[in-house]
Amino acid sequence: MVDGGLLWTSGARKEALELLVELWSHAELRNEISGAILAGPPSVLIDQIHPDEREKSRDRRIFDRIAVLERLPHQELTPELNIEWERLRSTYPNWQVANGEQALFSVWTSSDWGGARRSYSVDSLRSLDVLDAIEVLEKAGDDEDGVLETWRELGNSDPDHSLVILEEMARTYRYPVEVWQKGLWGIRESVKHSNAKQKVFKLLLSLPEQLLNDPRVSDAVADIVDAASGASLNADERNSFWRLFDLALGKAALDNRNSEAPDDDEWVSSALNCSMGRLATAFFAALFERDLRVGAGIPNDLLSRLDLLISPAAISHRPARVIAASRLSYLYAVDPKWARGALIPSFNWEDETESLAVWQGFGWQPRIDEKLWQVLKPHFFSLFTPERVVRLGDFGERHAQLLVVVGIEFGAEELPLEDARNAVLAMPTRIRSEALSWIAEYLSHRGEEIDQVSVMGDGSRAPQNVDRLWVTRVWPLIDRIWPLQLAEQVAETSIQFARIAIGTEDRFAEAVTSLRPFFVPGPEGGFLRELTGKSHPERFPAATFELIDRAVDPLAPRYGQRSLGGILTRILQSRPEVAQSIRFAIWQPFLAESAP
């Protein structure tokens, strides 16, 4: 008699299929074997599987056993098995049969001649019934054969199927950490679109403490919370979302990686890639959905969560404070009292590491108004020490630009004279140049905006507001904060000063005269092309020549070989006597560049 239980065992699949082949060689047993296969596996195996997957699991087990028999030479299937074989192949066209001895294993790994290991594809892992798939995953170990990575990819391509496997693992108390980590990574994106969001929330909320306490799993759960924060949730789903957020926040506090300082001072990148930072991102995404008004305050149902998330005294919550700092403008507008009490103290430099981290966070997406400036002002200029500017990295450029934004938008008097000049002196040349570049772009863009509305009804032009900006905001700021020491004037900043002068209109000659101390000969850095598009050579030929003579090195490479010659030609056409200048002799050879 054929032992039906042994025929269907998953724990000894190879042995069971080898026994099946041996029994099939006895012709007198084939009808009995055929009936046992068609009857399917015992209910004790199938009843453990999710109802939605039971039929598929049963069919897969039958498929695998018929496949082994179907390929045997000179040993045909019974008519009943042939009918079932055709049904299965028609119903599941993507199911594949492994070659040779591979068909006897739940997973097969081999090495090519170069040593590269091959394992299950996503399709072959998907084709296993649930219990066989779990067995394969549990045996993956250190994943040298890539099974767990394939498992993660399966979640990306078929999250519903992966969720069924995870639910079955949870129901049968199987909690291998690596399998859960990769499985949760795989289904992460599904919570943005899938109708199974509530299933995912329910599954995660049911996981045991021991599994959730492992940082690999809690990190993956935080990933899913972050992904779900951008999804459309109904009332029940939103309630489950916040329950899961609370659970994940408590577990993230146990993850030592949230307390580690990045070696390269990249605090924003570190925050975005750790569980506490991602939970903060999720929280603020959910908060923004409330569409709160200025001064409305943080809603009561979220305030306690926000306090716990920020936890000013907890190092493990620092990544959350970095993310919160990047949203400081919004938080201060909505609830200034909360921001002053919970977040602003982190900016005061009493704790060097803490302040460096949150100032980087603020510099990631800097937004400021006059009220927030007054709160940050006492701590802002302490940013600009040589050591801190270096540690700020690229965020130092944004804070340097923020300094000139404040001076232009709120008034130069908002920048204390000594503090502002010391800040400029502490900046490396690159950062100083970026600050000036913001001013040049500001004038350029404002000029473009004005040009669109500057023609009056009678055809005359309206007063050039860009010149008023130069007179009332830009020059007062530069005059107040920019040191005149010659040692601080270099070609890189000279280029930006030239662009600032070119950005004016009727005040161009005045701007060239005012900025004269900041010009040094060097590469023109493209500003000649900007000058080509202006009317300055005709309207202000002497000032235009002075700018070229002071800010362009005739031996330096230039952008666009015709620009310089064309501008010089236009100068001479407007004022020929410029050619009599002793200095003009240096530039005479470049006139030929403008020739057609």
Q: Within a domain: residue 549?
A: yes
Q: DSSP 3-state assignment of 527?
A: helix
Q: Are residues 538 and 476 in the same domain?
A: no
Q: Within a domain: residue 255?
A: no
Q: Which of 519, 534, 564 is the last residue of a domain?
A: 519
Q: Are residues 416 and 511 in the same domain?
A: yes
> What is the CB neighbour count within 10 angstroms for residue 581?
13
Q: Which residues contact 416 (CB under 8 A, 6 or more apart)?
A: 381
Domain residues for the domain of 494 are 388-519
Q: Within a domain: residue 258?
A: no
What is the 8-class DSSP label of residue 118?
Answer: E
Q: Are residues 512 and 530 in the same domain?
A: no
Q: Within a domain: residue 567?
A: yes
Residue 523: the pLDDT is 87
Q: Are residues 514 and 400 in the same domain?
A: yes
The CA–CA distances, whole Å, from 38 to 31, 58, 72, 83, 85 equal: 11, 10, 18, 10, 10
Q: Within a domain: residue 456?
A: yes
Q: Write down the pTM of the prediction.
A: 0.78
Q: How far apart are the first and last CA of the chain?
A: 101
User: Per-residue pLDDT for the chain (596 aa), expressed as one digit of tens each?
Assistant: 455 555 665 545 566 777 777 788 888 888 888 888 888 887 766 665 667 667 877 888 888 888 888 878 767 888 888 889 889 888 887 676 655 444 444 434 433 333 334 357 888 888 888 888 898 898 887 776 788 989 999 998 899 999 999 999 999 999 999 999 999 999 998 898 877 899 999 999 999 999 999 999 999 999 999 999 988 889 999 999 999 999 999 999 999 999 999 988 899 999 999 999 999 999 999 999 999 999 999 999 999 999 999 999 899 999 999 999 999 999 999 999 999 999 999 999 999 999 999 999 999 989 999 999 999 999 999 999 989 998 998 899 999 999 999 999 999 999 999 999 999 999 999 999 999 999 999 998 875 554 433 333 344 444 448 999 999 999 999 999 998 875 667 899 999 999 999 999 999 999 999 999 999 999 888 899 999 999 999 999 999 999 999 999 988 876 655 788 999 999 999 999 988 888 888 998 888 765 55
- Dmax (CA) of the chain: 118
Q: Are residues 392 and 486 in the same domain?
A: yes
Residue 122: the pLDDT is 83
Domain tally for the chain?
Answer: 3
Query: In this structure, what are the phi and psi dihedrals at residue 110, rounded to the nearest 5 degrees?
Result: -135, 170
Report how far Cα 190 is from the mean position of its chain's Cα atoms: 18
Q: Which of 492, 519, 546 is the last residue of a domain?
A: 519
Q: Are residues 497 and 580 in the same domain?
A: no
Q: Are residues 571 and 451 in the same domain?
A: no
Q: Which of 52, 82, 104 is the last residue of a domain?
A: 104
Q: Are residues 586 and 511 in the same domain?
A: no
Q: Within a domain: residue 553?
A: yes
- Give the span between the Cα atoms of 200 and 163, in whole angstroms: 7
Residue 44: the pLDDT is 63
Q: Within a domain: residue 266?
A: no
Residue 105: the pLDDT is 44
Alpha helices in 266-310 (DSSP H): 267-272, 275-288, 300-310
* DSSP line for 541-579: HHHHHHHHHHH--TTS--SSHHHHHHHHHHHHHH-GGGG
CB 477, CB 440: distance < 8 Å? no
CB 338, CB 331: distance < 8 Å? yes
Q: Are residues 403 and 509 in the same domain?
A: yes
* DSSP line for 123-146: HHHHHS-HHHHHHHHHT-TT-TTS
The CA–CA distances, whole Å, from 178 to 9, 49, 145, 171, 322 equal: 25, 22, 14, 18, 29
Q: Within a domain: residue 420?
A: yes
- Give the span between the Cα atoms of 554 and 430, in whole angstroms: 23
What is the 8-class DSSP label of residue 207?
Answer: S
CB 244, CB 278: distance < 8 Å? no
Q: Are residues 467 and 546 in the same domain?
A: no
Residue 314, burial from CB neighbour count under 10 angstroms (0-12, 13-18, 19+): middle
Q: Are residues 481 and 529 in the same domain?
A: no
Q: Are residues 477 and 590 in the same domain?
A: no
